[in-house]
């Protein structure tokens, strides 16, 4: 009786359509750059947005300059008062010491009376502009609708993506153009898939740009 040998066939993945059927429609679409989400920016969303906004560096620079100005104002005012009163006419070191102390007092007063209120007002500005957002991705571009305003952003115009635990933040030339909360996606995996889609697209665009420059 002839011996029978069984041949082990290697496992083969099924068609793409069969593998995709395992995933949900939302996850499959997100991996292709197709999304449809709605959300209303909350206070927490605005807080994240303010931390990642491209003008944060400018605000920090203005804050430092303002503190230096407050120090200079306090020092000059104190030094002038000491000189006018003739308290330390023969001791320049003590006059300078008092002027420095006055400058530090000016910085403290600025931070307590002006800077704190100024920063709170800046943080509250985005909240006043918060609207119901509708974001649609069709695989080629992102359309952002807010009340009567509609903005279409081609994926090719998105050159930086920042993924934080709660948001997907999109930039164009260092300017923040959109912040999509993770909770707005139907599934958390869809959030990750869409972020991965954008990151791969940006990497591909960067590779093409470098190739063209070196050609």
Tell me how far CA of residue 165 lies from CA of 23, 30, 183, 193, in angstroms. Answer: 22, 17, 10, 14
Question: Residue 214: CA atoms inside 13 Å, Cβ hemisphere, count?
Answer: 6
Please report the domains of the chain, with CATH numbers, ordered by start residue. 16-40+131-214 (2.30.29.30), 56-128 (no CATH)
Q: Give, for all 215 residues of the chain, the pLDDT tens digit.
A: 444 443 334 334 444 454 444 457 889 999 999 999 998 887 777 777 666 665 566 677 878 888 898 889 888 888 888 777 776 666 677 778 888 888 898 888 888 888 877 766 665 554 455 578 899 999 999 998 887 788 898 998 898 898 988 999 888 877 778 889 999 998 899 999 999 999 999 887 765 555 555 55
Enter the DSSP assignment of 166: S
Q: Please state the separation of Cα 86 from the chain's center in Å.
A: 54
Residue carrying structure tokens 């912040």: 179
Q: What φ, ψ does residue 14 adopt, rounded to 5°?
A: -75, 180
How many other CB atoms are found less than 10 A from the CB of residue 49? Answer: 19
3-state secondary structure of 14: coil
Region label for 108, one of left (φ > 0), alpha (ψ between -120 and 50) or beta (otherwise): alpha
Residue 182, both tokens:
């993770």
């Amino acid at each position: 009786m002839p011996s029978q040998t069984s041949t082990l066939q290697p496992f083969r993945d099924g068609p793409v359509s069969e593998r995709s059927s395992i995933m949900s429609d939302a996850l499959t679409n997100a991996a292709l750059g197709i999304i449809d989400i709605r959300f209303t920016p909350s206070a927490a969303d605005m807080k994240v947005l303010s931390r990642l906004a491209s003008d944060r560096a400018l605000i920090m620079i203005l804050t430092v300059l303002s503190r230096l100005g407050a120090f200079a104002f306090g020092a000059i005012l104190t030094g002038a008062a000491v000189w006018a009163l003739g308290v330390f006419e023969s001791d320049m070191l003590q006059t300078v010491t008092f002027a420095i102390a006055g400058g530090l007092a000016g910085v403290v007063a600025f931070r307590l009376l002006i800077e704190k209120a100024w920063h709170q007002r800046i943080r509250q500005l985005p909240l006043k502009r918060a609207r119901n957002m509708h974001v649609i991705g069709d695989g080629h571009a992102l359309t952002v609708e807010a009340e009567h305003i509609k903005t279409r952003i081609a994926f090719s115009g998105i050159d930086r993506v920042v993924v934080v635990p709660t948001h997907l933040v999109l930039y164009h030339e260092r300017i923040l153009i959109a912040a999509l909360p993770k909770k707005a996606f139907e599934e958390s995996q869809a959030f990750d898939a869409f972020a991965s889609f954008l990151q791969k697209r940006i990497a591909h665009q960067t590779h093409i740009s470098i190739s063209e420059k070196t050609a």
